[in-house]
Amino acid sequence: MRSKLCLVLAALLVVVCAAPEALAKPNEKQVNLATGVKLRYVVEGPADGTPIIFLHGFTDSSHSWSSTTPFLSDLYRIYVPDQRGHGDSEKPLHGYSMAQYAEDAVAFMDELGIEQAVIVGHSMGSFIAHQIASAYPERVSHLVLVASAHTSVRNEVITFVWDEIVGPPDFQDPIDPDFIREWQTGPNPVEPVFFETALEETAKVPARVWKAALRGLLTDDHIDFLDDVTAPTLIIWGSLDAFFTVADQQALQAALPDAVFIAYDGAGHNTQWEQPQRVAEDILDFID
């Protein structure tokens, strides 16, 4: 009995003293991309399932989709990267244009042997997603744009955030936790534990990445290339979205006239946080 106890204690000691990499969850992985950046990503679902790649928004991480993907991972192979500068991925000094983010996503697919995937993007991730779908149409089977627009260039709210908050030189690390909470708070309640983790993930983004990625949103205009999108497209928008208006949705639908459009009455910008199951079900209905 005593020897068995010693063996158990020894095993526990090995676990406790193991390197952090050994303690990582089995569905959390890292990959070195040909674009020169190392990304951390989450993978779920059957290995032979149709791949879906989820791209998070500005200052978020793969956690942004963690309430949505469980409703899809029984049938589909889910990949959710922390994009460059975000979460636990590398945060290089350069490379924060939407076009570069799109190149990262394609390099991610190449490295993992994914020839074609459903691409789902939220907010900043949606602009990256329709850049991928226009520049590499053969790589995208279906396109899902959540909280999106035809362009983020000259967007009044994003411009205000740049001019008044992020752009000025006094926006520096460490970023005020109260500001982070205000930044991520929407019009509707979100599951508390999920939300606190979302705040922790946002706090991982350094001020220089806030500045660089926001500049990318304000300067990268892909509207002239939306004609090149051939994938069936679903647009999901919350009527209380603080960034993208009804007029933005009309312009996006005009640019993608065959797209399916679903409005969530009373939902905010982070619709997948507020109504994760409904978002998953709408995606499932669209791609199934």
Distance CA 230, CA 233 (A): 8
> Does position 50 have pLDDT exceeding 70, yes or no?
yes
Q: Which two tokens stand for residue 254?
A: 């005009």
Give the DSSP H/E element, type plus range, for residue 253.
helix 246-255
Give the DSSP H/E element, type plus range, for residue 78.
strand 77-81
Distance CA 196, CA 253 (A): 34
Band of the pLDDT at 10, cuts 50, 70, 90? very low
**pLDDT of the residue at 26:** 76
> Does position 18 have pLDDT exceeding 90, yes or no?
no
| Nearby residues of 89 by Cβ (< 8 Å), 6 or more positions away | 37, 38, 39, 40, 81, 82, 83
Band of the pLDDT at 23, cuts 50, 70, 90? very low
pLDDT in tens, 195-238: 999 999 999 999 999 999 999 999 999 899 999 999 999 999 99
* Rounded (10°) angle between helices 124-135 and 207-219: 50
Range of the domain at 40: 27-287
Distance CA 56, CA 71 (A): 17
Taking residues 234-252, what's their average pLDDT?
A: 98
* Mean pLDDT of all residues belonging to the chain: 92
Instruction: Evaluate whether residue 3 is within a structural domain.
Output: no
| Pairing mode of beta strands 38-44, 117-122 | unpaired
Number of structural domains in the chain? 1
Instruction: Evaluate whether residue 16 is within a structural domain.
Output: no
Instruction: Evaluate whether residue 279 is within a structural domain.
Output: yes
Instruction: Evaluate whether residue 50 is within a structural domain.
Output: yes
**pLDDT of the residue at 5:** 32
Distance CA 286, CA 288 (A): 6
> Which residue's entry shows tokens 């989450």?
42
Band of the pLDDT at 90, cuts 50, 70, 90? very high
In one-letter notation, the amino acid at residue 235 is I
Band of the pLDDT at 24, cuts 50, 70, 90? low
Write the CATH number for 112. 3.40.50.1820
Give CA torsion, residues 59, 112, 132, 280, to 10 deg. -60
Taking residues 27-44, what's their average pLDDT?
A: 98
Q: How far is CA 239 from the centre of its chain?
A: 20
pLDDT in tens, 133-148: 999 999 999 999 999 9
Distance CA 23, CA 56 (A): 25
**pLDDT of the residue at 37:** 98
Instruction: Evaluate whether residue 253 is within a structural domain.
Output: yes
- In a 13 Å sphere around the CA of 31, the CA atoms on its Cβ side amount to 24
Instruction: Evaluate whether residue 178 is within a structural domain.
Output: yes
Instruction: Evaluate whether residue 80 is within a structural domain.
Output: yes
CA-wise closest residue to 199 among 172, 216, 170, 175: 175
**pLDDT of the residue at 9:** 31
Instruction: Evaluate whether residue 15 is within a structural domain.
Output: no
pLDDT in tens, 100-144: 999 999 999 999 999 999 999 999 999 999 999 999 999 999 999
pTM: 0.92
